[in-house]
């Protein structure tokens, strides 16, 4: 089951990344570029997960999975929200900070010692095999990034709910789906006691990215793609 769910997450994230990259190429908006990069890292992390649970984990596969999925994908997704809400000036400043953060994460994951024993198809647990720095980077980056996405999408959903018309209603639904999908991605631990750790993780991964993609599709139908709110400034 874990392999099937990892495959679904990979396919959905790849389609999502392609659609967002097409928007970035067409419109040249920085938020689309940030989202495309984030979704590409998510797709690659999901592919590493699929390889790990089907052919067995090794240090290289786990390093790629943890770097791209646990550390980088959510902060870069949040960068798109920051660009969209706060405009280019603040967005560029945050982007340079995120570039430095990503470089630190890459160095940490390439050089850190991994505890022996990574093998088999069970998903390794970061706190059991990694030193402190990569885990701190994952917790801070993904935690803060998820908070930015959820708050941005929730506030936008509330804003659009107050506006009349079908387009506003679709945008409200789209943002609600984005917030819900991010919560699902963050909440896999809630069902561990029911289906087990690995299944809970892959369920939350596949379902979360699918719900976010559904929000993107709903918003696209409203004529604005995955926009959450209009930028408050334009620079």
Q: What is the pLDDT of residue 183?
A: 84
Fold category of 2-118+130-221 in CATH: Rhopdopsin 7-helix transmembrane proteins (1.20.1070)
Domain boundaries, the chain: 2-118+130-221
Q: Which residues of the chain have pLDDT under 50?
A: 189-195, 222, 224-235
Tokens at residue 191, please? 């069902």
Q: Outline where the chain has alpha helix (H).
A: 2-27, 30-55, 59-65, 73-86, 88-111, 126-129, 132-161, 166-186, 192-195, 197-221
Q: pLDDT tens digit string along 108-155?
A: 999 998 888 787 888 888 888 899 999 999 999 988 998 998 888 888
Q: What distance in Å separates the CA atoms of residue 155 and residue 166, rounded to the nearest whole number?
A: 18
Q: What is the pLDDT of residue 188?
A: 56
Query: Which DSSP letter does residue 159 get?
Result: H
Q: pLDDT tens digit string along 10-27?
A: 999 999 899 889 888 888
Buried b (16+ CB within 10 A) or exposed e, 4-18: ebbbbbbbbbbebbe
Q: What is the pLDDT of residue 232?
A: 35
3-state secondary structure of 89: helix
Q: What distance in Å separates the CA atoms of residue 46 and residue 13, rounded to the nearest whole number?
A: 8
Q: What is the pLDDT of residue 75?
A: 92
Q: What is the pLDDT of residue 221?
A: 60
Q: What distance in Å separates the CA atoms of residue 208 and residue 229, rounded to the nearest whole number?
A: 21
Q: What is the pLDDT of residue 212?
A: 86
How far, in Å, are 44, 68, 75, 139 from residue 63 at the CA level? 12, 8, 18, 16
- DSSP states of 106-120: HHHHHHS---S---S
- Is the CB of residue 19 less than 8 Å from the CB of residue 216? yes
The pTM for the full model equals 0.83
Q: What is the pLDDT of residue 86?
A: 83
Q: What distance in Å separates the CA atoms of residue 195 and residue 198, rounded to the nearest whole number?
A: 8
Q: What is the pLDDT of residue 235?
A: 38
- Is the CB of residue 80 less than 8 Å from the CB of residue 38? yes
Buried b (16+ CB within 10 A) or exposed e, 200-227: bbbbbbbbbbbbbbbbbebbbebeebbb
């Amino acid at each position: 089951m874990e392999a099937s769910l990892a495959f679904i997450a990979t396919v959905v994230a790849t389609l999502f990344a392609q659609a967002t990259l097409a928007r970035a190429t067409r419109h040249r908006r920085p938020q689309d570029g940030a989202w495309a990069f984030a979704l590409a890292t998510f797709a690659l992390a999901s592919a590493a997960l699929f390889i790990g649970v089907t052919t067995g984990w090794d240090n290289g596969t786990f390093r790629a999975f943890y770097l791209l999925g646990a550390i980088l994908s959510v902060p870069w997704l949040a960068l798109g929200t920051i660009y969209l809400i706060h405009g280019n000036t603040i967005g560029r400043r945050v982007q340079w900070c995120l570039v430095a953060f990503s470089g630190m994460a890459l160095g940490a994951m390439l050089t850190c010692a991994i505890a022996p024993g990574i093998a088999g198809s069970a998903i390794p647990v970061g706190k059991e095999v990694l030193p402190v720095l990569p885990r701190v980077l994952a917790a801070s980056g993904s935690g803060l990034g998820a908070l930015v996405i959820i708050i941005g999408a929730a506030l936008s959903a509330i804003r659009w709910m107050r506006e009349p018309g079908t387009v506003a209603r679709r945008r409200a639904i789209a943002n609600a789906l984005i917030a819900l999908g991010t919560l699902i991605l963050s909440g896999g631990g809630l069902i561990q006691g029911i289906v087990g750790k690995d299944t809970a993780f892959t369920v939350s991964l596949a379902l979360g990215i699918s719900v976010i993609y559904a929000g993107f599709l709903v918003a696209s139908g409203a004529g604005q793609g995955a926009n959450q709110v209009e930028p408050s400034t334009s620079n």
